[in-house]
Amino acid sequence: MLVPSLALAPLWGLSTYQLATRWQAERTQGDLTASLSGPSFVLFQSLQKERRLTAETQAAPGNATRGQLVAARRTTDKAIADFRPVAAENTSRGQQGLSAALADTTHNLDRISVQRKSVDTGSVDEKAAFDYYNGTVDSLITVFTALGRTSNADVTLLAHTSVDLYGAIDMIGREDALLGRDWQIGHLSVAEYDVFVDAVGAQSYLLHRVALSLTHDERDTYKKLANARSWATQQDLEKQIIVAGPHHSPGELVLGQIHAQWRGSVDANYPLLRSLVDVRAANVDRVSADSVSRLRQNLVIVSAIGLLAVILVIVTSWRLTVMLRRRIHGLREEAVELQQRLPDVVARLERGENVDVDREVRLVEPTSDELGELGRALNAASRSAVSTAVRQAEQHRGFERLLQRIARRTQLLIGLQLRKLDELERTHEDPELLDGLFALDHLTARLRRYEENLVILGGGQPQRRWRKPVQLMDVLRAAQGEVKDYDRISIDVEGDPWVSERAVSPLAHILAELMENAAVFSKPPTPVEVRAVVVSRGIAVEIEDRGLGMEPEQYAAANALMEAPPQLDVMTQADDVRLGLYVVARLSAGLGLRVELRPSAFGGTRVIVLLPEQVVVEQPDTAPTPVTLPPEGPPLPTGPKPHPHDAGISRQAPYKDGQLPVRARGHAMAHITASGLRSSDETHESPPTPANADPLPQRVRQSSLAPELQIPAELEIPDDPAPWTIPDQPGRSGATIGAFQRQSRLSRRANSSDGNTAGGFGNDSGSAGLRGGFDDDAGDSSGSDTGRGFGYGNSDGDAHSDGNSEEPPSPELPGSSRTDDRE
């Protein structure tokens, strides 16, 4: 307690010093305002009058205003002489911005002699002179604004209202000067008209603001101005000029006719405005003086009371310090021990160890006084902290288990749905229905990956296992097949690298997440380029998009996430953590992969995934077992055969972006010209024919057909057809793949009795379309789902809760759904 008591003395000194400083500052500000405001306002009025007379003299050099201009210049010179010493004295002190405003005003006043000489000789035009006086008056208004910035809020508010009033007076002066240039001409130019309208609008707005903050006595003065006949006349003339517009036609309004009215109303309004300025200035001085007086009184009272309080507290605390120091020191040691022990308890809980709360909490012996209550509170806090840490750890582990259980159940349903989709794809032949089934198949495969994300977030790992190494190209294609805009992704692999069986599933998941991230955050139809090269430390896979990219801070945060994946509870407290990047970080940490995000040369993001040597294997020996072929029969014809539906077939109708290609039933790829195929007799030389032998009979095309069945000559396939040409049209790839899928399915069914399965990337005879995934054990699977993406069901539709099926399924490639589900 002695230290706080001794600290009270500096606190008392600081409060006294602050009050004294504030009192001195407000008094200085009041003196500064009193010394500067008077000369500044006189100079303000003199410059306005000189501006008007200069404009009238430039418009009509020989009129009677020349003498008035000379007198106005003498008045301005006197005002400048009174202003300069005060400005020089206060240039280095005062409120914020005052020094700069005074320096700017002084600089403008130093140029007034040169400006006047240019006006007299006619070397400067009317606009330049008008702009000079406007700039000088604006610098004076800036001086008024700086004078109004005080530490007293009431004074500052009143001073800012005064500045608005000065601005309104300046706007009237600008209107007066503009009209002075055009009394003889009779109308305003377009540029002058725009300036005049702006000045009238600014004047009206500023006076409205002034009226809202007037005090009682100021409101009476303002009413005199608002009710004056001269003020109404001025406003009426302003409206007439605005309505007439620039270059108005004769008879509408002639400025010379309203010159006398304008001059009389403006000259009568200036004294009323000056009286309003004087009333407001008096109120500002009064409020400032009252504030200075109150501060001085508070300074005396606070200083005296504070000094007595400091003396009393120091004496009292000295008597209690010795008695309480020993007990407080003991409690302090207990608190420090808890602070050191609690992080260790939390770390053990995070490792999954069981913690006994009673054993970890060390109780403090309580007493009956206030320090005893503090000891009991410390005991309660210790127990509460340890219990809370234990409870949160248990809840966290329970939440992870619950998350995994929910995801596993959902994966079971997804596996059943994929199996049902596969049955439907095998059963139906309608191309439109198959397109929809393929699209639904693709969406379900993506949903399966999202559910697997929940497993990873719950602390689990993908349960799918491969028994053999897989080619990296197949892994990349499998990842591509689980991305929404897979058709925008291009893959380029250098060489023929292979990946170990333990890394196949997590690597495909990582690549799918990164590809989808690149596709989502780049605008279609920009490509996403995927490149894989063998490097000295393994394999580097680059995924580069052409999106908007990220800020350097975001790249640093993402790379930090990849280096050290946080716990799930930490992730839930971060609003900007992306789920896909967190999943990538968790899987990469488990495999020992290094993932780094960098800016792309195209403005997007480039992700580099480095596969270490531990997950890269040599190409396995996959040579097929030799089989004995049946005896060779008679050669089969291999030449082109006319299609019975070639006649009347038209090209495929064009389709729009975002739609699937549609072909008429029975017209698959009819627009492709078959050529380059040779019949079997063209590939073997025939023995020469003796010269005296009778010629063999020659076949005449369509001679055995009825006339109704014969194909017109212009539609026949030529004997020497041109090479196959495929028209370059949008959607050709999708249509070709779709046709291949259907013909492949028909061939597999036709050969199913012989046990032959059409090849491809999958080994399942019932897979829907061309599967661009990979198989872990070709020829070893007979289930219906072996040609699919990451599933959790076996061939009989039974899903294991741990995801370990006898024959793990394979991811699919784009093309199986032949659809574009881009939003």
Residue with tokens 């399942």: 764
Q: How far apart are CA 464 and CA 592, in angstroms?
A: 18
250 with 390, same domain: the answer is no
Residues 528-568 have pLDDT tens digits of: 999 999 999 999 999 999 998 899 999 999 999 899 887 66
Q: How many percent of the chain have pLDDT more than 70?
A: 69
Return the SS3 of 768.
Answer: coil
655 or 123, higher pLDDT: 123
**Angle at the Cα of 31 from the Cα atoms of 29 and 35, rounded to 5 degrees:** 115
Q: Is the pLDDT of residue 653 over 60?
A: no
Q: Is the pLDDT of residue 319 over 70?
A: yes
Q: Which two tokens stand for residue 154?
A: 């009431």
- Strand pairing category for 538-544 and 594-599: unpaired
Q: Is residue 56 part of a domain?
A: yes
Q: Is residue 483 part of a domain?
A: yes
Q: How far apart are CA 246 and CA 242, in angstroms?
A: 8
Q: Is residue 641 part of a domain?
A: no
Question: What's the rounded mean pLDDT across residues 32-39?
Answer: 82
Looking at 303, 330, 351, the residue that finishes a domain is 303
355 or 783, higher pLDDT: 355
At residue 767, the pLDDT reads: 34
241 with 389, same domain: the answer is no
At residue 353, the pLDDT reads: 74
The residues facing 492 across adjacent strands are 531
At residue 696, the pLDDT reads: 55
424 with 471, same domain: the answer is no
Pick the closest to residue 273 from 200, 217, 218, 196 (CA basis): 218
Least confidently predicted of 208-212, 300-304, 518-522, 690-694 = 690-694
Helix H or strand E encompassing 384? helix 370-427
489 or 711, higher pLDDT: 489
Looking at 617, 637, 656, the residue that finishes a domain is 617
At residue 306, the pLDDT reads: 83
Helix H or strand E encompassing 312? helix 259-350
In this structure, the chain runs to a length of 823
Q: Is 702 exposed, middle or buried (0-12, 13-18, 19+ CB in 10 A)?
A: middle
Structural domain that includes position 818: 374-461+734-823
417 with 484, same domain: the answer is no
* φ and ψ of 716, to 5 deg: -75, 155
Residue with tokens 């894989």: 532
Residue 591 is part of a domain; what is its CATH number?
3.30.565.10
478 with 417, same domain: the answer is no
Q: Is the pLDDT of residue 795 over 60?
A: no
At residue 446, the pLDDT reads: 84
Looking at 598, 617, 636, the residue that finishes a domain is 617
167 with 34, same domain: the answer is yes
Amino acid sitting at position 276: L
85 or 762, higher pLDDT: 85
DSSP state of 59: H
286 with 409, same domain: the answer is no
Q: How many CB atoms lie within 10 A of CB 665?
A: 9
* φ and ψ of 540, to 5 deg: -110, 125
Q: How far apart are CA 22 and CA 288, in angstroms?
A: 12
567 with 420, same domain: the answer is no
393 with 514, same domain: the answer is no
At residue 680, the pLDDT reads: 36
CB 467 within 8 A of CB 505: no
* Dihedral sign for Cα atoms in the order 74, 78, 83, 88: positive
519 or 315, higher pLDDT: 519
Residues 71-112 have pLDDT tens digits of: 999 999 999 999 988 888 765 555 677 888 888 889 999 999
At residue 46, the pLDDT reads: 92
Least confidently predicted of 45-54, 264-273, 349-358, 444-453 = 349-358
Residues 578-624 have pLDDT tens digits of: 678 888 998 999 889 999 999 999 999 999 999 999 999 988 865 45
Q: Is the pLDDT of residue 791 over 70?
A: no
369 or 82, higher pLDDT: 82
At residue 654, the pLDDT reads: 42
Residues 635-650 have pLDDT tens digits of: 444 444 444 333 333 3
At residue 559, the pLDDT reads: 94
At residue 248, the pLDDT reads: 55
Helical ranges in 527-686 per DSSP H: 552-563, 568-572, 579-591
At residue 294, the pLDDT reads: 84
Question: What's the rounded mean pLDDT across residues 114-121?
Answer: 90
478 with 441, same domain: the answer is no
In angstroms, the Cα distances linking 310 to 18, 303, 306, 307, 790 are 17, 11, 6, 5, 77
The residues near 753 (Cβ < 8 Å, ≥ 6 apart) are none
Q: Is 220 exposed, middle or buried (0-12, 13-18, 19+ CB in 10 A)?
A: exposed
At residue 569, the pLDDT reads: 57
Radius of gyration over every alpha carbon of the chain, rounded to an integer in angstroms: 47
The residues near 118 (Cβ < 8 Å, ≥ 6 apart) are 124, 129
Q: Is residue 783 part of a domain?
A: yes
For the chain, how many structural domains are there in total?
Answer: 3
Compute, in degrees rounded to 10, the torsion defined by CA atoms 681, 683, 685, 691: 40
453 with 493, same domain: the answer is no
Q: Is the pLDDT of residue 452 over 50?
A: yes
The pLDDT-based confidence of 283 (bands split at 50, 70, 90) is confident
Q: Is residue 789 part of a domain?
A: yes
* Dihedral sign for Cα atoms in the order 590, 594, 598, 602: negative
In angstroms, the Cα distances linking 693 to 608, 684, 687, 688, 690 are 74, 21, 13, 11, 5
Residue with tokens 């009184």: 297
The residues near 75 (Cβ < 8 Å, ≥ 6 apart) are 46, 49, 50
Q: Is residue 630 part of a domain?
A: no
Q: How far apart are CA 438 and CA 768, in angstroms?
A: 7
The residues near 455 (Cβ < 8 Å, ≥ 6 apart) are 403, 404, 407, 408, 411, 461, 462, 463
Q: Is residue 674 part of a domain?
A: no
CB 241 within 8 A of CB 252: no
Q: How far apart are CA 567 and CA 569, in angstroms?
A: 6
CB 267 within 8 A of CB 156: no
457 with 471, same domain: the answer is no
Q: How far apart are CA 815 and CA 813, in angstroms?
A: 6
Residues 139-172 have pLDDT tens digits of: 999 988 888 887 778 888 888 888 899 999 999 9
204 or 27, higher pLDDT: 204
Instruction: State the average pLDDT for the chain.
Output: 74
CB 112 within 8 A of CB 80: yes
Q: How many percent of the chain have pLDDT more than 90?
A: 24
